[in-house]
Structure formats: C-alpha cells, structure tokens
Amino acid sequence: MILDFFDLTYLCQGNERQRQAYEAMEELQIVGKLACYHPVLAGTIPLDIDLPESDLDIICEVYDAKRFEQELELHFGVCPNYACSSKTVGGLLRTVANFTHRGFAIEVFGQPKPVTEQNAYQHMVVEHRLLEMGGPEAWDAIRKLKAAGLKTELAFGRFFRLEGDPYEALLAMYDWEDARLHHFMEERNGMK
C-alpha cells in the first residue's frame, strides 16, 4: 500500500501510538501553523517501527531560517523543553527545534530543500516500500534489531543485506521502480 505521507490522516487508522501522535500534532496544529513549509512527519512512527523513546520528526522546506526560527518560537516556544538553533551542515543552513508535548519528544527540522528531496523523507519512503514487500517478517525483524540498539538505517542494512553504507544504499534505492525493488528482494530471499 502506498501511503501519502503528506496527509497525516493515515495515522488515524494506525496503531495506538500513531493515533496518539496524530492527536498531539493536531492539538498543536503543527501542520496548519507550518503549512507554508510543507511539513511531513518522517522517521519510525509513520512506519510502525518506533521504540517507546522515538520522537516525532517533522521535516520542513525552509529558505528563510531566521523567519522559521521566529515562527517556531511564536507557535511552540511555550512547550516544555523548547530549544531551537540553526547551523550550516554540508553547505546547507539547517534549523532544528526540539520540544515536548503529550509525552512525545518533537523535533522540527528545516533546510532549504523540498521535503521530497530530503534524506529523511527518501529513507522513509524506501523503508516503507521494503517493509511492504518484506511483509510481517520484515516488520518484526526491524523492530527487534532496533530494540537491540541498532539505528533504523543500520537495521535495514542488516536485515536486507544492503552493501556498503546503508544510509547511502537506501538513498540510492529511492528512485528504483517496483520491478527493480522486487528483483532485489527476490535476490535477498534467495540468499537466506
């Protein structure tokens, strides 16, 4: 099933944690308040492979970091543990705000790039496709690897036997058509 990660209502049909995440984001009106930045919830909660300590990672397309910082402060500055900073990484100015709400750690991330071109989004889309193709066995294995302490991309790298750096391998798979991804899965299944 292909998910529209831009429409958060998919969380309403998800597990209890996904529904709670939706309610927390709705209560804060994050999507509405940040609409001009095209916010998307990324990471493990949308994929149902989160751990109890997993945060809500919201990625945004931001070209005016100063204005973005001001809006974050205006809308979420009263939330517990609020902190916001910007720094240049890899030639891109990135802004990150962290705060908590209804038991969730929330991170809002912005950089001058469409969200569909950001690594977090592309990783999530590829990981979702791999999980869908891998079925319940893949979901269970990734959850177990993460519970054992592996970061998400490393867990995918181990379970799906990705060659090289799993962060880069997953990004390279983003543009693969379904047929190529199916072929990859069949090859991996033949190696078991």
Residue-wise pLDDT for 147-175, tens only, equals: 999 999 999 999 999 989 999 999 999 99
In the chain the domains, ranked by start, together with CATH numbers, are 8-113 (3.30.460.10), 121-190 (no CATH)
**Residue 124 contacts residue 43 (beta carbons within 8 Å):** yes
Q: How far is CA 174 from CA 4, 42, 93, in A?
A: 15, 15, 24
Burial 152-177 (b: 16+ CB within 10 A, else e): bbbbbbebbebeeebbebbeebbeee
Query: How much is the pLDDT for 4?
Result: 86
User: 3-state DSSP call for residue 4?
Assistant: coil
Q: Which DSSP category does 45 fall into?
A: T
Predicted confidence (pLDDT) at residue 188 exceeds the cutoff of 90: no
Predicted confidence (pLDDT) at residue 187 exceeds the cutoff of 90: no
Residues whose CB is less than 8 angstroms from the CB of residue 96 and which lie 6 or more positions away in sequence, other chains included: 84, 85, 86, 107, 108, 109, 110
Q: How far is CA 124 from CA 128, 147, 178, in A?
A: 6, 18, 16
- 15-47 residue pLDDT tens: 999 999 999 999 999 999 999 999 999 999 999
| Mean pLDDT of the chain, nearest integer | 93
